[in-house]
Amino acid sequence: MSNRGAFITLEGIEGAGKSTCLALVGQLLQQAGRQFIETREPGGTPLGESLRRLLLDHSSAGMSSDTELLLMFAARSEHLQQKILPAMEEGKWVLCDRFTDATYAYQGGGRGIPAARIQILEEWVQKGVKPDLTLLLDLPPETGLARAGKRSAPDRFETEALSFFQRVRQAYLDLAWAEPARIRIVDASRPLPEVQAQVSALVREFISSWR
């Protein structure tokens, strides 16, 4: 792909502030004159949004971890083919709320699926496509769950035990330590203006470094 747009993702446990920061990143891209799309996972396409409803709904309680993993990648395959790759090929930037790092964190760290099995699906579905920049909004699960709880009724993931989110957080941090150039950690436990200042600095630096 020549002159393709950049692929930016936001990650973190529930209530970390991804949706809030996504809007800010969009504003920064707009100010920099970049064309972009905003999207999310699981979801982003009509089929993906249907899979999202199935994945988050309490009626799916007891779904096996492998089923959950495969549905995440089914939604991702559709998302890549129908939306992400075409946008990047048109030169648009893609701003996505969660992507495959979430699978390593939730299905890997949270559910205990070995990373090697996730990697097989990643290679099959993505064929080397990865985010260029990932902002990991890191905070203690107690803080994130309290913020998320104030906002809406819990979905199927949000009813997991605290220990589940501690494993998810640790898996995210392990990913960031393994790929420090791509995954930039933001201290999301700070008050919103401070979090937004950290995000703005990282995104401005990335925009100016992009070809």
Residues that bind ligand Z5A (CB under 6 A): 12, 14-20, 41-42, 72, 97-98, 102-103, 106-107, 147-148, 151, 155, 157-158, 188, 191-192, 195
CA-atom Rg of the chain in angstroms: 16
Q: How far is the CB of 36 from ligand Z5A (least distance, A)?
A: 18
Q: Which stretches of the chain are DSSP H helices?
A: 18-31, 46-56, 65-79, 85-89, 100-103, 115-126, 141-151, 162-178, 192-209
Nearer to ligand Z5A, 55 or 85 (CB): 55
CB of 19 to ligand Z5A, least distance (A): 3
Which one, 136 or 148, has the nearer CB to ligand Z5A?
148
CA dihedral angle for residue 114, residue 67, residue 141, residue 44, rounded to 10 degrees: 110
195-202 CB contacts, 8 Å cutoff, 24+ apart: 195/17, 195/21, 195/137, 196/21, 196/24, 199/21, 199/24, 199/25, 199/135, 200/24, 200/28, 202/133, 202/135
| Closest approach of ligand Z5A to the CB of residue 193, in Å | 8
Nearer Cβ to ligand Z5A (29/51): 51
Least distance between ligand Z5A and beta carbon 183 (Å): 15
Measured from the CB atom, is 88 or 196 closer to ligand Z5A? 196
Angle CA(63)–CA(64)–CA(68) in degrees, nearest 5?
80
Q: Which is nearer to ligand Z5A, 14 or 78 (by Cβ)?
A: 14
* 17 within 8 A of 195, measured Cβ to Cβ: yes
Closer of 85 and 188 to ligand Z5A (Cβ): 188
The H or E element that residue 186 is part of is: strand 183-187
